[in-house]
Amino acid sequence: MAKSYSGGCACGAIRYETSSEPIFENHCQCRDCQKRSGTGHGSYLTFPQQADVRIAGKASLWRVAGDSGNDKIHAFCPTCGTPVYLTFAAMPELIAVHAASLDDPGQFNPQALTYSIRGHAWDPIDPSLQKFERMAPS
């Protein structure tokens, strides 16, 4: 039986579901993730095909240039403000969901820490994870 990943925003206006497997699961300590999460990092599951993730509800979008100069498109609920997923202008086939937006956040199995160079002493991350000062190489 295929594993399923489902989740959504806090108020339930946006829901997603996929039976595909994530290709990357990470914590990110870049300043954008820190500011958006209101804490020291963001946590994500990245799926290879946006088309394989069914999304119900209308998200508001916010574009921001990442350290690479490429735009990241953040999708959040216009009602409750919950960040739900993001896409990438340079890699439009990918979609990353916020780990805490999963119905079962225990499905998140982080493999790496990205942008460790921007981490704070008050936000320690599992020291056994592979660390990248910036984005992990493809």
pLDDT digits (tens, 9 = 90+) for 9-28: 999 999 999 999 999 999 99
Assigned domain for 23 exists: no
**Assigned domain for 96 exists:** yes
Q: Is residue 13 part of a domain?
A: no
- How much is the pTM? 0.91
Among all chains, which residue has been given the structure tokens 């403000």? 81
Question: How many separate domains does the chain show?
Answer: 1
CATH number at residue 53: 2.170.150
CA angle, corner 30, sides to 27 and 33, nearest 5? Answer: 70
Is the confidence at residue 1, as pLDDT, over 80? no
- 84-117 confidence digits (pLDDT tens): 999 999 999 999 999 999 999 999 999 999 999 9
Query: What is residue 138's predicted lDDT score, i.e. its pLDDT?
Result: 55
Can you spell out the DSSP letters for 14-54?
SEEEE-SPPSEEEEE--HHHHHHHTSS-EEEEEES-GGGSE
- Domain membership flag for residue 126: yes
* Average pLDDT score over residue span 41-66: 95
Residue 1 lies in a domain: no
26 part of a folded domain: no
Range of the domain at 86: 31-131
Give the side-chain half-sphere CA count within 13 A for 61: 9
Edge-to-edge order in the sheet of strand 5-8: 5-8, 15-18, 54-56
Secondary structure class of 86 (helix, strand, coil): strand
User: What does the pLDDT look like over 26-37, one tens digit per residue?
Assistant: 999 988 889 888
Would residue 11 count as lying in a domain? no
Q: How many CB atoms lie within 10 A of CB 4?
A: 12
Count of residues making up the chain: 138
